[in-house]
Amino acid sequence: MGWRRIAKRRRAGKELVSASSTSTCSSSFASAPASTVFVLSLSLLVAGGWDPAAAAAEMASVSSSSVSAEGDGDTLRPPAELTGTASGSGSGSRSFEGVGVGVGLEEQCPATGSEAREDTATVPPPSPSSSFYPAGLLSRATDIRGGGGTGALEPPLHASHFLVRIVFLRSLSFVYFVAFLVAYRQNKALIGDRGITPCRRYLWDAELRGRKKAKERREWIRQRKTFRDPGRGMGLWGKVRYSRVGRTVVDAIEENERLDKVREVLWDRSDQMDRPVVTLLWLAGDRRRLDPWLDGVAVVGMAGAALVFVLGAANVPLLFVLWLCQRSLLAVGGLWYAYGWEPQLAELGFHALFAVPFLSLNPVSPGVPVPLATVWAVRWYLFRIMMGAGLIKVKSRDPKWKFPQLNAMHVFYETQPVPNPLSRYFHAMPGLWHKLEVLINHFVELI
């Protein structure tokens, strides 16, 4: 090893010793803001499976970060006075003991100046399995600033999204569980075999539309073969699409009976608004007996939602099952599933697929942060809901939502779709209270 590398290592060690031997005798956590330590501790504690004392000791050891020398793999460890394992000359020593979720310090000011030794102690790197925090996140967050600065514990900006993801998944699973519980108790009477609007009618109508579309598509394929040069005037894509090779490939795909059947089931079968009817009920052999299928979908949904709520974590297959079960009921629910919150729940469940790991069920999955695109997609989703609900009231021609009347809430509790035990008491409130409710509603949704 060259003399320059040795001098560099000794100079870095002296900077660490001088930074730690201040007049205030501050600990290694003094360089980190109290709010940062609290957020890290709270997020780990809520995530579960975390030993506060072990994690505090680990954070203390990581905060006095090691300086690695590139080349032959040699690593400079911080002086022993910073780790609490020093021995040798000098009148001072330092020890760390983790207590609760904080750090209790029993320390004496280390010796300074020439009395500080350059001996180093080996500090093992934090093990990913020793805590629930992402592997390497604390070590990457710790930095040795220039000019003899201190090691500051600075988690990246997306670190808080791990805790938010736990809260978000548990909240979403709770909504899913309530939705499937309501479906289990009511669907047989609403869309069951002997219900008010049996769902088999929606399936039959969608199947007839699918057959009609498939027939029209096959007729179009037959007529297209008689065209001499259908790609003329369609640009480069038209020439490629209707070239000899393009026709051969496209015809092979479109004339395949299996692919045509899959397209008919997944795409051509649609509702009155030409939206594809995606539901597991297509798998039912006898559509005159769909009650077991309705109950089965609801039970599977409740089981999956309960699992996500207990774990505080989910993966893509688990959330896809929840989304598919809810989408299966939404597709055949008809008028009973026409309220805005049903498609909103389906959309939010789809967004959640991109916020979780593919297979891991670890609440804080190492190396799988919440994508920034997903965060903004959910924010845009919430903005659309709130702004749309406010604008539809303000831009309507109903004077009850506008000045000077503002009396929409006078009759709201009489016609609300899901009343609760407190509705009668709010309905009996004075008129001024109801006008205030309208103003608060406009403020919340528009401002």
Half-sphere exposure of 441 (CA within 13 A, CB side): 20
Buried b or exposed e, range 422-445, using 16+ CB within 10 angstroms: eeeeebeeeeeebbebbeebbeeb
Q: Enter the pTM of the model.
A: 0.62
Average pLDDT for 367-392: 91
Q: Which whole number is the average pLDDT over 172-193?
A: 96
Q: What is the DSSP letter of 265?
A: I
pLDDT at 245: 84
Greater confidence, 287 or 85? 287
Measured CA to CA, the distance from residue 43 to residue 50 in angstroms comes to 10
pLDDT digits (tens, 9 = 90+) for 110-124: 444 444 444 444 444
Which pLDDT score is estimated for 403?
A: 87
Predicted pLDDT of residue 66: 40
Q: State pLDDT tens for residues 122-139.
A: 444 444 433 333 333 333
Exposure string for 169-205, b = 16+ CB within 10 A, e = fewer: bbebbeebbebbeebbeebbebbbeebeebbbebbee
pLDDT band at 233 (very low <50, low <70, confident <90, very high): low
Classify 95 as helix, strand or coil. Answer: strand
pLDDT tens by residue, 324-364: 999 999 999 998 998 888 999 999 999 999 999 999 998 87
Provide the pLDDT confidence category of residue 5 given band limits of 50, 70 and 90. low
Per-residue pLDDT at 63 exceeds 50: no
Comparing 36 with 322, which gets the higher pLDDT? 322
